[in-house]
Amino acid sequence: MIEVKNVYFTYPNGVEALKGVSLTIKDGEFVAIMGQNGAGKTTLVKHFNGLLKPTKGIVLVDGVDTRKVSVATLARKVGFVFQNPDHQLFSETVEDEISFALKNFRFEAETINKRVDWALNLLGLTRYKKTSPFMLSGGERKRVALASVLAWNPKILILDEPTIGQDYQQKEKLRHFILQLNAQKKTVIIVTHDVEFVAECNPRVILMSNGEIIADGEARKILTDPKIVTEASIVPPQITQIFIKLKNYGFPRDILDIYEAREAILNSLRKGFK
């Protein structure tokens, strides 16, 4: 469990990025943190693994105060994939990158080899095993960074803008994998502007604005409320926008994806035939 209790955070330049944030993320939850640039999203999640320490307030991870332990200690439990993979990658080959943390955590050699091969295969990186990460595209480097964290199987996974640089096929693979992890009771937290991706995943959504949480609830409730999303400066999913306009014709407003849209239209047609 992650507990954030009345947390404030001010950067050395004087910018107050978090202003009295409180929330609880239970084990096994899938959470999307959303909001405009500068809302405090990334600042908040960097408190979950100790990269940042509260200026005021407390962050607890499984009851442990993050101010009193090192990032290395928290990293075994909390895996963090940065928005920019170049802030995370440093090894000469993709294989070395993925195995680095496993070696630090003192996994046995046989286990390391198996975990590296598993992560490479999972994210379609096997052919780049001996390639420098810096020779890859931005999207591929993003997948290497993800693989390097997934390899040690952390209990909590934080993904900062995971869909940036990914094509539709890779986004679908990522979505299915996240849902699979969540089904396995892993805690998954994503920071994202990709409202369409969130709509298809349908997690718990936390909206932030100016360093504060302004809404917290199911994606269906949050993303289909025009007033709330406007306040957070995000745009509802395209399907939702259409059905908001059709609500006066008897259609439900809380439609998140094309499958629900199809069912709503079929239900309307069935009523018309009666």
pLDDT confidence of residue 224:
87
197 and 25 Cβ atoms separated by less than 8 Å: no
Query: Percent of the chain, pLDDT > 90?
Result: 55
Domain architecture of the chain: domains with CATH? 1-77+155-234 (3.40.50.300), 87-153 (no CATH), 237-274 (no CATH)
| Residue 93 token pair | 């080959």
Comparing 252 with 185, the larger pLDDT belongs to 185
Per-residue pLDDT reduced to its tens digit, 157-167: 999 998 887 88
pLDDT computed for residue 47 by the predictor: 97
Residue 67 has pLDDT above 90, yes or no: yes
Number of H helices, E strands in the chain: 11, 10
**Residue 53's pLDDT is what?**
96
Of 77-81, 169-173, 186-190, 221-225, give the lowest mean pLDDT range: 169-173
By 3-state DSSP, what share of the chain in percent is helix, strand and coil, each rounded to 5?
A: 45, 20, 35
DSSP category for residue 194: -
Would you give the DSSP letter of residue 155? S
pLDDT digits (tens, 9 = 90+) for 245-267: 887 777 877 788 777 788 878 87
Label residue 272 by pLDDT band (50, 70, 90): low
